[in-house]
Structure 1
Amino acid sequence: MKQIVIGSEKKQESAVIQGCMRIAGLSEEAVDRLIKTDLEQGITFFDHADVYTDGACETLFGKVLAREPGLRDQITLQTKCGIVRGKGEHNKAFDFSKRHILETVNASLKRLQTDHLDYLLLHRPDALVEPEEVAEAFEQLYAQGKVRHFGVSNQNPYQIELLKKYVRQPLEINQLQLSIKFTGMIDAGLNVNMTVEGASDRDGSILDYCRLNGITIQAWSPFQYGFFDGVFLDNPKFPELNKKIDEIAAKYGVSNNAIAVAWILRHPANMQVILGTTNVTRVAESARGADLVLTRQEWYDIYQAAGNKLP
């Protein structure tokens, strides 16, 4: 498995991450098998969030860690906080207050049955954020040894800069949606000084900002198009794209999942890819993409087959 370097400490981590958002419906045995498959493929990084099935995913994962002595030392464990969900369609909020961060981290540690998190990310931007409170929460969690590294998710450059003004610990990760069919952060950089579709910079050049500041992008929903609209692989809505992906997959003797992963990792921004699947066969197939380096022309051929035009 390809390794990437994260943060100022130059931590070596797997280029592919196992996302745990969908594990709540699995048995303990199935989760154990999923973790073991990940480790066999070289995937050692596991991503959670306190809101995934209201904490059930963390609870289930923690039960497996508790019954497998030594397993915790083999993995990198990450969770996210900041989203508050209540009952009702509109009963949702974001909360980066010191109290909320500390309470949710302590709850996550209890559910995961571990004494520390390797990474904690702030899940989605809080319009009412008081960065001084975030700094106080991070400082306390770090001093207590409960969180070793920090980052954000779905944030733009100025939101990160605001936090950095007060937070002492480096913000090492930004989790952002990216796939062959969700390429806004790439499109804007290719269409500078153009008036065509794709020229709008909605994210403040977040891709270049992360590269300049040594922040690792974790790409979520690598097989999705739109905002959870569905999977583009083998989807008849995208015949030209799937024809090109299948053609390249046949050349390298891998699955189309592997090509979708390889396309993201071909970008020189030192990214990681988060797999959402819990199917062990698909995990193994996708993991092969981490060690496959597409040619420059193949990368651009796939990009254009997805419906993107180059200026």
Structure 2
Amino acid sequence: MEYIQLKGTSLTASRAAFGCMRLAELSVEQAKRQIEHAMELGINFFDHADIYGGGSCEEIFAKAVDMKPSVREKMILQSKCSIRDGYYDASAAYIRKAVDDILARLHTDYLDILLLHRPDALMDPGETAEALERLHEQGKVRYFGVSNYNVMQMELLQKYMKQPLVVNQLQISLAHTPLIDEGMAVNMDIDQSVLRTGGLLPYCQWKEINVQAWSPYQKGFFGGSFIGDLDEYGELNSLIDSLASKYGVSKTGIAAAWLFRHPVNMQVILGTMNEKHRQEGCEGLDVVLERKEWYDLYRAAGNIIP
């Protein structure tokens, strides 16, 4: 396992993270085995959200690990809030209650990182920032970040905060590359050049904000995995197969290696509850794709390199 010190923090985190969204599908004993397997691989970073299983994922996690101080100190725990039933809520009252409920479900006194899960169009940035600062003062949250925010949304919130925003968790995979596209085809009259995020990826590099990749094997918005999809991504899968053979890893490992290769030095959230697939994702850290190979994969996914 490869570890990085998350910028703006004192946390040393595994670059592969355990995504807990599907824990609700498991019994406590099954969840225990999955978490143990992740830790055997060297994963120490666990990503939650209050919306996952309606909170049950956090409850199952705490029971599975028998949360106590000796266990807690080995883990970096991150959770998210602001998605509710059919709407978003970044109000101070909701954030305060959400964090208290998260801590109760996880059987811990503090979160290492709290992310606002989706931008709330009705957010009062001053009110939201004040609530986050108060959580920090109370020792309930060490660090803060966001998920799925664009540049100006981050700038607006940061204007009112003393604590830095240290994370942005974003969807990115070989088959979902808007973050890459807008910088690849600058000033061209093609769809790929549309500035959809305001230059979010270089912004995060510039501001030293840690990027976390969610759905690393998905096409589109929960459109299924592109790995093995020969109808839509035949050329990509053919190249992935070739590189997997060259480097002695799985196709999943090559897909993960493509993300790990980017100089933003992102973490990749592995949400699988399959031990083999998790191990294959971690093997992507052992592969350093050649520059041409990285670009060839991007092109094979259907993108233009001008």
Report the TM-score range of the alignment, normalised by the length of the smaller protein.
over 0.9
Task: Provide the residue aligned with 1:157 in structure 2.
Answer: 151
Deviations 1:152-189 (A, max 9, x none): 00000100000111011110000100000000110110
- Alpha-carbon separation, structure 2, partners of 1:10 and 1:108: 22
Query: Is the Cα contact below 8 Å between 1:65 and 1:113 reproduced in 2?
Result: no
SS in structure 1 opposite 2:193?
coil
Aligned to 1:9: 9
Cα distance, 1:139 vs structure 2: 1.5
**CA distance in 2: counterparts of 1:27 and 1:252, whole angstroms:** 36
| 1:51 to 2:51 alignment | yes
The CA distance in 1 between the partners of 2:68 and 2:109, in whole Å, is 15
Q: Provide TM-score, normalisation by structure 1.
A: 0.96
Amino acid at match of 2:245: A
**Which residue does the alignment assign to 1:120?**
114
Length-normalised TM-score, structure 2: 0.97
| Separation in structure 2 between the aligned mates of residue 153 and residue 286 of structure 1, nearest angstrom | 22
Determine helix, strand or coil for the equivalent of 2:289.
coil
Q: How many Å separate the matches in 1 of 2:290 and 2:90? A: 42
**Residue pairs, 1:68-217, within 5 angstroms:** 70-85=70-85, 92-217=86-211
Unmatched runs of 5 consecutive residues or more in structure 2: none
**Partner Cα separation in structure 2 for residue 129 and residue 112 of structure 1:** 27
Q: What is the one-letter code of the residue matched to 2:79?
A: T
Shift of 1:69: 6.3
Shift of 1:133: 1.3
3-state DSSP of counterpart to 2:228? coil
Please give the per-residue CA displacement for 1:26-63, whole angstroms capped at 9, x wherever unaligned.
11111111111111111110101000111111110111
Instruction: Quote the residue 1:249 is aligned against.
Output: 244
Matched, 1:234 2:228: yes
Q: Secondary structure at the match of 1:71?
A: helix
The equivalent residue for 1:64 is: 64
Residue correspondence of structure 1 range 5-44 to structure 2 within 5 A: 5-44=5-44
Cα deviations by residue, 1:242-297 (Å, 9 ceiling, x for unpaired) = 01001101111111111111100100012110111011111111111123211101
Aligned residues: 305
Which secondary structure state, in structure 2, belongs to the residue aligned with residue 96 of structure 1? coil
Q: 1:102-148: CA deviations, max 9, x gaps?
A: 00000011011111100000000000111111122112111111100
CA distance in 2, matches of 1:192, 1:274: 29
User: Partners of 2:99 and 2:29 in 1: how far apart?
Assistant: 26
Output the amino acid matched with 2:255. Answer: A
- Whether contact under 8 Å (2:213, 2:269) holds in the other structure is yes
Identical pairs, percent: 50
Distance in 1 separating the partners of 2:285 and 2:41: 10
Alpha-carbon distance in structure 1 between the residues aligned to 2:163 and 2:98: 19
1:15 touches 1:271 (CA, 8 Å); kept in 2? yes
Q: Is the 8 A contact 2:67 2:108 kept in 1?
A: no
Question: SS at the partner of 1:293?
Answer: coil
